[in-house]
Structures are given as structure tokens and as C-alpha cells.
Amino acid sequence: MDYSDYMFNYWIRGTNMLSVVQPTRTVLLVEFSGEIGYSFHQPQTDYVPVNNPPGVPPHMHSAFNNALNEVGFVDGHIDYIKIYNDGVSVSHSYDPPAGYDYQWSGD
């Protein structure tokens, strides 16, 4: 049974951490809300609905751009950052555009 609100970055699962090209930008661990494009810290009423993860009813998932979340990075530091959401799919499905302080991919 898992009682955590944190998720490991699946993009780098099984990767040797020494091979991650940008360890100061690459997410290792993130609050679950950050992966889907939501924030437990600053919920907003104006949100952009996105595709639901498999098995999640539509009324239980909403997301918005720039959701603030706690993130642990491959280099070991932790930060409270804005997570990008494109309004189409869950946030961990793609790297954000330029101007954001993180990336999901290890390259």
C-alpha cells in the first residue's frame, strides 16, 4: 500500500543517475499533483481541463498551467516551481517550453 503524495519521474526510471545530462534541471521526484498539472498548494478556480489519466473519472481531474509544486531533482536539491501544462494532456507527458526551471527527460 502506498501512502505517498510523491511520484518518481517515469521518464528516467532505470536510468543511471550519472548519465543524466542536466541533473540540476531533471525531475527525480515530484508531488503527484505536479505530474497531472494541478497544485495541492494553490488550487485555482480557473483551470484548463486536460485529458484524464486512464481510469480516472472526468469530474475528478482538472489541471492548469503554472501549478506550483515541490520537486526533487536528480542532483539532490529541492525547489518549489511552476509546472507547465499545455491544456491537452497531463504535465509529465512532455518537457516544458523554454523559461521553466525543470525537465522530465534525462537528456
pLDDT tens digits for 16-59? Answer: 999 999 999 999 999 988 888 888 876 655 555 555 556 655 55
Residue 27: φ, ψ to 5°: -70, 135
Question: Could you tell me the pTM of the whole model?
Answer: 0.80
Backbone dihedral region for residue 35 (phi beyond 0: left; psi -120 to 50: alpha; all else: beta): alpha
pLDDT, tens digit, 9 for 90 and up, residues 85-96: 887 788 999 999
Mean pLDDT to the nearest integer, 80-84: 93
Work out the number of other CB atoms within 10 angstroms of the CB of residue 92: 19
pLDDT bucket at 11, cuts 50 / 70 / 90: very high
- Average pLDDT of span 98-102: 95
